[in-house]
Structure 1
Amino acid sequence: MSGKIRHFYEFSDFRLDAENPSLWLNDRLVSVPPKALEMLTLLVRHHDAVVSREELLETVWRDTFVEEGNINYTVSLLRKTLGEKVKGELQFIQTVPKRGYRFIADVREVVESEADEKATTPNLIADSSDAIPAGEPKPQIRWHLLGIFLLGLSLTTSFAFWWKVDERGGLAGLSVAERNVRSVAILPLKTLGEREINESLSLGLADSLISRLGSLNRFAVRPLNAVKAYADDNDPLTFGKELKVDAILEGTLQTIDSRLRLNMRLLDVRDGAQLWQGSFDETKTDIFQLQDALSLQVTESLTSKLNQQERALLTKHDTENREAFHSYSRGRAFLEIRNIEKAIPEFQLAIRLDPNYALAYTGLADAYSAHALFTSSANAEFYNQARALAEKALTLDPHLSEAHTALGRVRYLHDWDWAGAEKSFRRALELNPNNVKAHQFYSRLLATLERTQEALAAAHKARELDPRSADLAIPLSAILIKRGEFDEALKVVTAAIEMDKDYRMAHRCVGTIYLLKGEYAKVIELGNQHFPNPKETDFAWASMLATAYHRVGQENKATQMRKHLTGLAATDLKALYYLAMHFSELGHADEAFAALQKCFELREERMIWTKDEWRLASLRDDPRFRELVQKMNLAR
């Protein structure tokens, strides 16, 4: 019976498999991007004939509009891959001026039948009836020996794969699929011209692609917060190593009249190899078509096959309104830099432009929750608005991970609905395991519920997904402080300050750790560094300094700082909670409980840490403390 016929092309020490596109150097698979492999196959099939640039564009890039510069780039890449020049002379691809390219190496076409290949394979277990004379007992097959043989074969194969991975820096001989890319960073596109206009679009495209790839649960995808610091003068491979990813997508964005032009490339951070490159040219009105094409091509360059559900996730449109998308992107960009005042009107505009834009409702919910966290007055109004917006988003799209996170955040910080919050965070992570915010707030919830090991696992997962985030140091350090691991907590926040030297929360956390360690002189030193004018001291440092001055016997300064803190607490609920902690450290239980009761009634979000707050330790044996904890459903 004849088998399937397969065609190969051999030239020099290379073999090109045209049926299952791949290039081999002797017995080693050579990594070649898909478009470069298509070009090589076309040139080799027409060897000694000139292939025009027009034919290359129509055949290799038939579904994509690209510049002719892509041809030059791909030819250069092929020449480098083939080790083109020997003694300065071309031996594979020749440029024919004004006409195209010609493959000039000697090519041998090889035709093989799969049946022929099988026929040459020895039959390891022969038909015993032909070998054993009649009347003689048939020997038993020694299955244990066969098992040993198969185990040895398996180990040999594994060793061969390891050897293949290890040679030439580890990855040079592997195809994209064999490289086992498990983590990816999508960088904001470098903008060419109209910088201010294009920057929000660049972030919007990156955010959309991050969300789409993250929802597949095939790769760990770094969040927008991790990549937004990427600047035009950064080296993408160096930045990728800082992000601890296997692959990184970078490119440029340019607007020309009414068109958007993107040039993209996907790089393996581990050895610098280019895994894919593509160019896109669309009208500004086709932004969603651009998102779909980009999402599919990038993902297909990393994985062998996508199922129907995955394709649907990659081409999901949160809105069909281009202006609403741009407004949402601007709002998200403002929110990422904590500019809440500018973020809110952008999200509101996106909702007016498209009342069914679930993601815009989620963005506005996040903005109101952030506003509540930083406001000096009662925060119920902002949290109520955030809850309503998150619920509206889920009505429009029940499968939106970000909306479940937004709702869980309100349930945790304001409603103190621990079961409801956990349900929301778990659902968010089911829908998108790369949702860093969900991991972050889930870790805080688990710590509140005294499920410390789970809390640490969630906190470490968040930091694994976003290793450059200073923000993520705070929940992790809070868990470590809760466990009494002050030195470890100090290492975490010190590293955060190295990433963001102006991060106030991290500096506060350092002061808190030194206060809990009893190093009051250090607290005073740091407080005076941050606030040379005592009258400008914020509530957190005022609370710590008042206690530190009291502990070292500087009562005049302690009293001065306490009065300053009391003045802040008259209008700021957050300052009132810090005043309660200071009263506890003074042993003034009645004043401390009066402040905590008011914080409880107005649902100050810092109350969620009350049960295990070290600075409230003197109150724990008081029946009023147990009653307060029970009211919050946090009793043991």
Structure 2
Amino acid sequence: MVGRTLGHYRIDEQIGAGGMGEVYRARDTRLQRDVALKIIPDSLVTEARRQRFEREALAVAALQHPNVVTIHGVEEHDGVRFLVMELVDGVTLTSAVPPGGFPRARFLEIARALADGLRAAHRLGITHRDIKPTNIMLDRDGRVKILDFGLARFDDQNDEDATLDAASPAAARSASVTGDGQVLGTPRYMSPEQARGGRADARSDIYSLGLVLQELLGGSPSDAPPEADADIAELTAKCLHAAPAQRYEDAGVLRDALETLPASPGTSGGADAAVAGSRARSAVPAYRIAVMPFRVRGSDEELAYLGDGLAENLIRKLSRQPHLRVLSRYASFSLRDEALDPVSLGERLGTDAMVLGEITQRGTNARISVELVGTSNGDHLWSEQSDLPLEGIARLEGEMARSIAGHLEQELSTDSGSGSANAAETSSGPSSDPADPQAYLLYLKSRPLSVGTITQMDRAVEYLEEAISRDENYALAHAALALLQIHRSVHGVQDRGTAARQARAAARRALAVGPDLAETHTAAAMVRFHLDWDWEGADEEFRAAVALDPRGDLPYLEWGEYLCGTGQLDEALRAAHQARDADPISPNAPHAVGFTLLLMGDFDGAVREFNEAIAKHPNWTWGYIKSAWTYAEAGDNQRALERAAAAEAALHGGGSPLARSWLGYVYARCGETARAHAAQEEILSAPGYTDPIVTSYVPCGLGDVESVVAAMERALQERSPLAPQMWAIGRLARYVDLENHPRFQAVIREMDYPDVPAPLG
């Protein structure tokens, strides 16, 4: 099969085989990504195996969870039927468990991720029936993936529907009893009822998972946890009770139990030092909730902005509650146009409840309707309606958000058994609401434009400046303006002097009027990093931002940029993964992980992450640009140029000077020297200030190291806003071995970074 092409999949190597079929690494030549193909060889095709094959496709396709392997489709070519699945680059738990088991903190990370993935299956009525270490992988970034749903059973499926054609008595022994009297599963990890041929439901998976958990902490399924981990021992003992009724009901209940266990025995829980104390968990298990964008029915175009704003404000306010896990704006808003019912939305997003809202225009008035819906069964839990004049909505939007959040907090606290003691917390904490309702509208209008084209960024600046002119104490607008001006200067679309003055002033004002907002500390941190070159001050501000918003992705993303720029790559990768944990649906996190892996020289991992970012946001130009760079570094010129062409199509022949410089580098590395020189000419002829670092990328791709070093020296003298990323640029410029050039090393010493890794080579 290796070397064969099935449709647009080129099979490169076999990576696994078993009774259920063979698994191959393949290249999707249409989407330019590596995938796994699962195929039943002709010699093993039976009706039973075909049914099990189809069942696996149905089970995995229904899940869509970050801890479950993703299925891209079921296809057939030349009579060969195959599953197209996510390629998990990593190792099985069998290989990953160290002698004596994992340390407690890592054990809890893996155990919670396993319970999360299995909870998604149990919510859909899917029982895995073959949970064992070889069906669980840790990818190269340590993420957990549950594999092989070939033996999965749906709650509405008759036992006799699942039939195994065992080739031998040994196969029968390694397989719940089905219509043929044969057993499905793996004996070492089977529950007692499954081994007897009884019905295997979610509690059977819990038993198998309990054995896996013992192995994770003790080193083998028969090893009980160490004495110091008595709480874990109690948990696994409940998983392994001989009577199914005495075990945890399903993986969701087990996940809640795991959430209460501290990272260290005898403590109340653990957290990173940067956010110590900011993630204290209540005794109530975390309740996962999504706030969907409010539907708008009416002709007033400003209602759409207000509908999104009301949802955002609810997300911000509910996120402060210790026992609520609120999905990010990106995660909720990504399904805005999906015609799905609450139960289906909940399955896609992995939530326990959902806030749905609607604003209906009625002449000069509007009715705001909000309801809380349980996503396990679609039950209506709570609702409220308000009738207001249209002109009053923006003015009262913040007050409405606080009122709704208060009602939701009371409802959720009561529902979870904690009473209403925490309801008052909803109105406490920092307020980000402006005094002028029009200022809030202008801020909302600026949001989608802040990472757009040059023209769009210019318009975003105008909106934010007008918002600030209406309310000079509007902290979020000041913070957004500071970040936007830094972004514009880094991309070469704003001269550094003007950008520096405006960014510093905006960040200073933001921090003065909003000292308790993560956004203001993030803006201050980026000013200290890009403009002041104050590494210690930047780090302190980032830590303050994370402490204020430990569940948000923005502080971690920007902190990761700082850590990459200053050579702290292991910490940068951790920050990027924290951002992914905060918002697993956003393309921002895989983009950050990908760039960090690129600096580390892990080109395969970087391409995988950039492709994930592109899949989540197909119009994100920098995903194409950075994957093109990575392919060029890896020597895959064809794919590099394909990605560059996709970027050019998205840019419509334009783009910021920084984007043109990266593409020029790709052209140079791929031998397209005429296009590289054309890109450099376009950069140098652009009006206004041209950052020296922006001018260095094309010469780097052409092998002109002296021009690159001279540009770095000018950047140091001119205090380029890109200069703080000098170390990262040196690592990117492997082609000319910039890191080991004496003059470049002198520049790095002048930057006076924190301790950074030694040069490669």
- The structure richer in helix per residue is 1
**Structure 2 residue corresponding to 1:185, chosen from 276, 280, 290:** 290
- Correspondence for 1:490: 607
Give the Å deviation of 1:294: 0.8
Whole-angstrom distance in 2 between the partners of 1:433 and 1:276? 28
Flag the 1:204–1:351 CA change in 2: closer, same or farther, 3 A.
same
Give the Å deviation of 1:440: 0.5
- Pairing 1:145-164 to 2, within 5 Å after superposition: 162-164=247-249
Post-superposition CA distance 1:61-87 (Å, at most 9, x none): xxxxxxxxxxxxxxxxxxxxxxxxxxx
Q: Secondary structure at the match of 1:620?
A: helix
Q: Any conservation in 1 of the 2:367–2:386 contact (CA below 8 Å)? A: yes
Q: Any conservation in 1 of the 2:668–2:702 contact (CA below 8 Å)? A: no
Q: Any conservation in 2 of the 1:215–1:434 contact (CA below 8 Å)? A: no
**Structure 2 residue corresponding to 1:320, chosen from 435, 440, 446:** 435
| One-letter identity of the residue aligned with 2:472 | P
| One-letter identity of the residue aligned with 1:340 | M
**Structure 2 residue corresponding to 1:513, chosen from 617, 623, 630:** 630
Post-superposition CA distance 1:41-62 (Å, at most 9, x none): xxxxxxxxxxxxxxxxxxxxxx
Q: Secondary structure at the match of 2:301?
A: helix
- Correspondence for 2:504: 387
- Correspondence for 1:434: 551
- Correspondence for 2:581: 464
Give the Å deviation of 1:517: 0.8
Pair 1:596-2:701 in alignment:
no
Give the Å deviation of 1:509: 1.1
Q: Identify the range of structure 1 (519-528 vs 492-501) with the bigger mean alpha-carbon deviation.
A: 519-528
Post-superposition CA distance 1:204-259 (Å, at most 9, x none): 11121122122334433333333334435532444444444443211211233454
Whole-angstrom distance in 1 between the partners of 2:400 and 2:643? 51
Flag the 1:336–1:377 CA change in 2: closer, same or farther, 3 A.
closer
**Structure 1 residue corresponding to 2:572, chosen from 442, 455, 470:** 455
Identity of aligned residues (%): 22
Pair 1:626-2:745 in alignment:
yes
Flag the 1:585–1:230 CA change in 2: closer, same or farther, 3 A.
closer
**Runs of 5+ unmatched residues, structure 2:** 1-229, 257-281, 757-761
- Correspondence for 2:382: 276
Give the Å deviation of 1:508: 0.8
Pair 1:562-2:677 in alignment:
yes
Flag the 1:280–1:544 CA change in 2: closer, same or farther, 3 A.
same
Q: Any conservation in 1 of the 2:566–2:724 contact (CA below 8 Å)? A: no
Give the Å deviation of 1:530: 5.1
- Correspondence for 1:36: none
- Correspondence for 1:42: none
Give the Å deviation of 1:625: 1.1
Q: Any conservation in 2 of the 1:200–1:333 contact (CA below 8 Å)? A: no
Equivalent residues, number: 475
Q: Return the TM-score normalized by structure 1.
A: 0.66
Whole-angstrom distance in 1 between the partners of 2:669 and 2:694? 11
Q: Identify the range of structure 1 (535-544 vs 483-492) with the bigger mean alpha-carbon deviation.
A: 535-544
Q: Any conservation in 1 of the 2:410–2:423 contact (CA below 8 Å)? A: no
- Correspondence for 1:215: 320
Q: Secondary structure at the match of 2:519?
A: helix
Pair 1:446-2:563 in alignment:
yes
Q: Secondary structure at the match of 1:287?
A: helix
Higher normalized contact order (CA 8 Å, seq sep 6+, divided by chain length): 1
Q: Secondary structure at the match of 1:376?
A: coil
Flag the 1:530–1:621 CA change in 2: closer, same or farther, 3 A.
closer
- Correspondence for 2:664: 542
Q: Any conservation in 2 of the 1:344–1:364 contact (CA below 8 Å)? A: yes
Give the Å deviation of 1:392: 0.7
Q: Secondary structure at the match of 2:501?
A: helix
Aligned-residue RMSD, C-alpha: 3.7
Flag the 1:340–1:507 CA change in 2: closer, same or farther, 3 A.
same
Give the Å deviation of 1:579: 4.5
- Correspondence for 1:115: none
| One-letter identity of the residue aligned with 2:425 | E
Flag the 1:548–1:220 CA change in 2: closer, same or farther, 3 A.
same
**Structure 1 residue corresponding to 2:372, chosen from 231, 250, 266:** 266
Q: Any conservation in 1 of the 2:368–2:386 contact (CA below 8 Å)? A: yes
Whole-angstrom distance in 1 between the partners of 2:654 and 2:451? 27
Q: Identify the range of structure 1 (191-200 vs 335-344) with the bigger mean alpha-carbon deviation.
A: 335-344
Flag the 1:274–1:246 CA change in 2: closer, same or farther, 3 A.
same
Q: Identify the range of structure 1 (261-270 vs 334-343) with the bigger mean alpha-carbon deviation.
A: 334-343
**Structure 2 residue corresponding to 1:421, chosen from 532, 538, 543:** 538
- Pairing 1:227-306 to 2, within 5 Å after superposition: 227-235=332-340, 236-283=342-389, 284=392, 285-303=395-413, 304=418, 305-306=420-421
Whole-angstrom distance in 2 between the partners of 1:531 and 1:336? 17
**Structure 1 residue corresponding to 2:620, chosen from 497, 500, 503:** 503
Whole-angstrom distance in 1 between the partners of 2:320 and 2:368? 24
Give the Å deviation of 1:495: 1.4
**Runs of 5+ unmatched residues, structure 1:** 1-146, 172-176, 550-556
Flag the 1:332–1:373 CA change in 2: closer, same or farther, 3 A.
same
Q: Any conservation in 2 of the 1:546–1:558 contact (CA below 8 Å)? A: yes
Q: Secondary structure at the match of 1:510?
A: helix
Whole-angstrom distance in 2 between the partners of 1:268 and 1:632? 54
Q: Any conservation in 2 of the 1:576–1:599 contact (CA below 8 Å)? A: yes
- Pairing 1:84-163 to 2, within 5 Å after superposition: 162-163=247-248
Whole-angstrom distance in 1 between the partners of 2:361 and 2:471? 25
| One-letter identity of the residue aligned with 1:539 | S
Whole-angstrom distance in 2 between the partners of 1:365 and 1:327? 16
- Pairing 1:48-87 to 2, within 5 Å after superposition: none
| One-letter identity of the residue aligned with 1:614 | L
Give the Å deviation of 1:479: 0.8
Whole-angstrom distance in 2 between the partners of 1:162 and 1:350? 57
Give the Å deviation of 1:198: 0.7
Flag the 1:473–1:181 CA change in 2: closer, same or farther, 3 A.
same
- Correspondence for 1:614: 732
Post-superposition CA distance 1:440-491 (Å, at most 9, x none): 0112222333333322222112122222322333221111112221111111
Q: Return the TM-score normalized by structure 2.
A: 0.56
Whole-angstrom distance in 2 between the partners of 1:313 and 1:293? 12
Post-superposition CA distance 1:152-174 (Å, at most 9, x none): 9x959998685555799999xxx
Flag the 1:402–1:508 CA change in 2: closer, same or farther, 3 A.
same
Q: Any conservation in 1 of the 2:557–2:589 contact (CA below 8 Å)? A: yes
Greater Cα radius of gyration, structure 1 or 2: 1
| One-letter identity of the residue aligned with 1:292 | R
Q: Any conservation in 2 of the 1:200–1:329 contact (CA below 8 Å)? A: yes
Post-superposition CA distance 1:104-146 (Å, at most 9, x none): xxxxxxxxxxxxxxxxxxxxxxxxxxxxxxxxxxxxxxxxxxx
Q: Any conservation in 2 of the 1:566–1:579 contact (CA below 8 Å)? A: no
Pair 1:370-2:476 in alignment:
no
| One-letter identity of the residue aligned with 2:361 | T
